[in-house]
Amino acid sequence: MQLTEVVDLAQYGEGINDQTLFGLHFTGHDLAAMSFDQVVFERCHFEAVNLDETRFFACRFIDVLWQECQLKETTWSDCHLERACFIACDLTHSSWLNGSAPGLQLTDCNLTHTVVHGTDLTAACFKRSVVEQVVLYQTCLNQAQFIDIFLSEFTFFRVDLRQVIWTTVSAEKTVFLECDLSKLNWQGMSLPHSQFIDCAMSGIRLAHAHLQQSSFKGCQLAEASFDGAEADLCLFPQAMLEKASFIGARLAHTLWLRCQANGVKWDQAQLYQAVFHYAVAPTATFIQARLQEADFSYAVLLGADFDQAHFSRTKFHAAVMDASAVKHHPQVLAQDQELYEAELWSQQFL
């Protein structure tokens, strides 16, 4: 099929079905709102082309280059892209569904509000692109690269991120839901206001990371490293933290409700007003930790080490522990009077 035929069909708002486009060079053409069904594009070049609201269904793209194109609200369903490259393109509000694009290159593109579902992006490269409010759902990212990227309100849902390569990446208000981040090296990375929900994160390295106001609800964090992290106001409810390390981390106003924390190291950590209600932390260590106004009510702390810890109105109400010297420390509140009165009140209904 020739270039003029495609342009003529676009002018009349007609779609193209079951055709092969080989070696065509589109420059400045208006192909907006077209429909391409089961079309093969091979060695084609789109330069400054308007393809807004165009629909691609079951198309195949081989060695195709898009440069400075308008691709807003495009739909890519069941498409296969081989060695495809997008440079300085606007892909806002685009949808990529149930396709594959191994080796996809996206450089200096705008992907705001893009949704990618069930797509193979093995070895894809996202470089210097705007990726705000993007959703990646059940997408393969093996050996994919994120380079010079700021992830803002990005959502990863059921994505395996263990083989992703991260170079000069930061994120804010990013959501990781049921993802696998095991053994990733994110030391020093900036991830404030992010949410990690029911993620596999065993062995992840977040030493000296910036994690303020992030949440790790129900995450598997065994042997994770948060040493020296800036993590004030973080939440760890129901997290599995066995042998994780928070040495020297800033953890003021953090919540550790019902976390499993056997052997966790909180040595030299700043835990001002941290709450450990019902935490299970046998053999955990708080050596030289700053525990001013921290609350360990109802926690299980058998074998925990509080050597040289700093106490000030630190609460251990109904905590299970064998360090009797701690409960007798002058700056420790072994019984919280308000909680005690609440317990008495509740007993009348039993």
Phi-psi region of 273 (alpha: psi -120 to 50; beta: other; left: phi over 0): left
The answer to whether 117 and 97 have CB atoms below 8 angstroms apart is: yes
C-alpha dihedral sign at 165, 159, 189, 171: positive
The pLDDT of residue 8: 83
The pLDDT of residue 2: 87
The answer to whether 196 and 219 have CB atoms below 8 angstroms apart is: yes
Confidence category of residue 344, pLDDT binned at 50, 70, 90: very low
- Token pair, residue 191, equals 């991830």
The answer to whether 42 and 23 have CB atoms below 8 angstroms apart is: yes
Confidence category of residue 210, pLDDT binned at 50, 70, 90: very high
If you ran DSSP here, which 8-state letter would residue 87 be given?
E
Q: Which pLDDT tens digit goes with each residue over 44-77?
A: 999 999 999 999 999 999 999 999 999 999 999 9
- The b-or-e profile of 144-155 (16+ CB within 10 A means b, else e) is bbbeebbbbbbb
Q: Where are the alpha helices (DSSP H) in the chain?
A: 3-11, 324-327, 337-347
**What type of residue is 7?**
V
The pLDDT of residue 343: 54
If you ran DSSP here, which 8-state letter would residue 96 be given?
E
How far is the C-alpha of 79 from the C-alpha of 38, rounded, in Å? 9
Q: Which pLDDT tens digit goes with each residue over 106-134?
A: 999 999 999 999 999 999 999 999 999 99
* DSSP reduced 3-state for 324: helix
On the 0-12 / 13-18 / 19+ scale of CB atoms within 10 A, 15 is middle
The answer to whether 212 and 229 have CB atoms below 8 angstroms apart is: no
3-state helix, strand, coil in the chain (%, to 5): 5, 35, 60
- The b-or-e profile of 287-297 (16+ CB within 10 A means b, else e) is ebbbbbbbbbb
Closest CA to 319 of 337, 338, 333, 305: 333
Domain 181-350 of CATH type 3.30.160: no
**Residue 230 confidence (pLDDT) above 70:** yes
Question: Would you list the domain boundaries of the chain?
Answer: 181-350
Closest CA to 313 of 292, 297, 328, 329: 292
Q: Which pLDDT tens digit goes with each residue over 277-317?
A: 999 999 999 999 999 999 999 999 999 999 999 999 999 99
* Distances from the Cα of 273 to the Cα of 80, 148, 156, 257, angstroms: 53, 36, 31, 13
> 10 Å Cβ neighbour count for 28?
9
